Chains A and B, each alone.
Chain A
Amino acid sequence: MKIVSSLLGALAAAAVMPLAQAHHSAAVFYFVDKQITVEGVVKSYTLGNPHARIYMTVKGPNGEDQNWMAEGGSRTVLLRNGWTGDEVKPGDHIKIIGNPSRDGSFVVHWQKLVLSDGKELWGEDTPTDSELEQLRHRTD
């Protein structure tokens, strides 16, 4: 099984914290204080509206196939960020790094994709963590 969970930060909010994707509102609730890495083989990918999605097969702890769905940023945001819809294709072996669903379903809110050639893509509508921190501490 290639799913690794890690706690981020000081876990200031141990309670459930809903995270809305940037414009998607709170359709999906994720644990934003947790991050997982999901590694598997792409079945399909759409740079769609309102959000991009990757459906993938992930090996479970007993070798069984798990069907995962990874949802990312908005189509128009990603287009502006240079995405084309050709980022991945069926059969690609990729890693998804993002937030797990709070209900334990095989759903991940992706932030970063690691492609089969090792290339990393920021796939969120949101600024990166470091950009948000800069915004947080800006004094002008």
Chain B
Amino acid sequence: MKTTAARTAWLCFVLVAAPAYTSAQTNLEGVWSGIFTTRHDPYWHIEDWGCFNGCTDEGIAHLKALLADPKNDHVPVFALIGQSWAFMRESMRPHVIGPGVEIFNTINDATDPTLNCEPYGFAREVVNALPIEINRDGKNLVIDYEEWVETRTIYLDGRSHPRKVKPTRLGHSIGHWEGEVLVVDTVGLSPDIFYPQYAGGGFSEKAHAVEIYTVLENPRRLRLDLMVEDPTMLSVPFTVHKIWLYKPEMKLVKDSCKDYPTKP
């Protein structure tokens, strides 16, 4: 099966590559951010900023090529980043199938449910740019997202996914360590029809996600490799990666959309 083969290849690639960029640090606890003061951090690079919502390997290579091209010396960097996002989105277009095609072709501001205080679905939430806080709860990890004030538990106590999972926005997640790398498997996701960043067509209740979290050099950075496969919406798995910086001084802001809606 094309999807299974692609997933296996992705897992092998990420896990084999991981030791090359890990340090002795394996503690994921703390606050991590992909925005705000990170632009002043010496370990924060332009491609990290350009990929705050995740980039494909091809997308980040495209961005680096644009930045390196002397013809673009006078093009604002924001415009080049916009081009790389457009490149990634168009790269996904041939792989969007089924009901995802219409979503891909019709997304616009009016159909964005977030403006009606409808929180992100799984994929959009886990790569969002706002700070996250990771804490230990017994054997498990809890991730608090500033974005939409969402919380999820990564079960590390050896349990399996329930045989029947009631679909939820962030699903049911179990994890294990592969050396210094945390591998998280998530099922039980409710449909996420609006993931426009690059995948465009959203995800169905058949989506299955694997996240690989790797702590990088000190000052610590956190890398996420995300793969979502969905035989209903995509002909190949959707894969992106992104970076957060360790920001222990930051506190998550827990404003709810209901209290402070966008629409007056």
Which residues of chain A (32-60) have a CB below 8 Å from chain B? Answer: 32-33, 44-53, 55
CB-contact partner of A13 in B49, B53, B83, B128, under 8 A:
B83
Cβ-based interface call for B263 (8 A): yes
Range of interface residues on chain B? 35 or more
Cα distance A140–B115 in the bound complex, in angstroms? 40
Q: Does A12 contact B (CB under 8 A)?
A: yes
Q: A79, B46: Cβ atoms under 8 Å? A: no
Q: Is the CB of A49 within 8 A of B261?
A: yes
Q: Is the CB of B79 within 8 A of A53?
A: no
Residues of B within 8 A of A131 (CB): 39
- B86 lies within 8 A of chain A by Cβ: yes
A46 touches B262 (CB 8 A): yes
Give bound CA distance, A129 to B180, whole Å.
Answer: 38
CB contacts (< 8 Å) of A24 on chain B: these are 114
Q: Determine whether the beta carbon of A23 is less than 8 Å from that of B53.
A: yes
- Map CB proximity to B onto A104-131 as digits: 1 under 8 Å, 0 otherwise: 0001000000000000000001110101
CB–CB A23/B83 < 8 A: no
Q: Chain A, interface size: which category?
A: 35 or more
B11 interface residue per 8 A CB criterion:
no
- Report yes or no: A17 in contact with B264, Cβ–Cβ below 8 A: no
Give chain A residues whose Cβ lies under 8 Å from the Cβ of B261: 46, 48-49
Given contacts A17-B83, A32-B79, contact A135 B39 (CB under 8 A): yes
Indicate whether A136 sits within 8 Å of B35 (C-beta atoms), given known contacts A26-B85, A53-B263: no
The 8 A CB mask of B50-67 against A (1 = contact, 0 = none) is 001100000000000001
Are B262 and A20 in contact, with the CB atoms below 8 A?
Answer: no
Q: Nearest chain-B residue to A28 (Cβ)?
A: B109
Contact B76 A9 (CB under 8 A): yes
Are A22 and B196 touching (Cβ within 8 A)? no
Contact A10-B75, Cβ < 8 Å, known A22-B52, A48-B260, A49-B255 = yes
Number of A-B contacts (CB under 8 A): 154
Flag if A76 contacts B146 (CB, 8 Å).
yes
Residue of B nearest to A9 (CB): B75
In contact, A29 and B108 (Cβ under 8 angstroms): yes
Are B197 and A26 closer than 8 Å at their CB atoms? yes
Nearest chain A residue, comparing its CB with the CB of B259: A49
Q: Are A46 and B79 interface neighbours, CB within 8 A? A: no
User: Are B146 and A135 interface neighbours, CB within 8 A?
Assistant: no
User: Is B71 in contact with chain A by the CB < 8 A criterion?
Assistant: yes
The residue that B49 contacts in the complex, of A28, A33, A132, with Cβ under 8 A, is A132
B6 an interface residue at 8 Å Cβ cutoff? no
The reply to whether B83 and A50 form a contact with Cβ atoms under 8 Å apart is no
A residues whose Cβ falls under 8 Å from a Cβ of B: 8-10, 12-13, 15-20, 22-29, 32-33, 44-53, 55, 71, 74-77, 79-80, 101, 103, 107, 125-127, 129, 131-133, 135-136, 138, 140
8 smallest A-B Cβ distances: which pairs?
A48-B262, A27-B112, A49-B257, A44-B264, A76-B253, A17-B82, A23-B129, A12-B75
**9 further contact pairs, Cβ within 8 A, besides A48-B257, A131-B39:** A8-B76, A10-B72, A19-B82, A26-B107, A28-B108, A46-B261, A77-B130, A135-B45, A138-B46
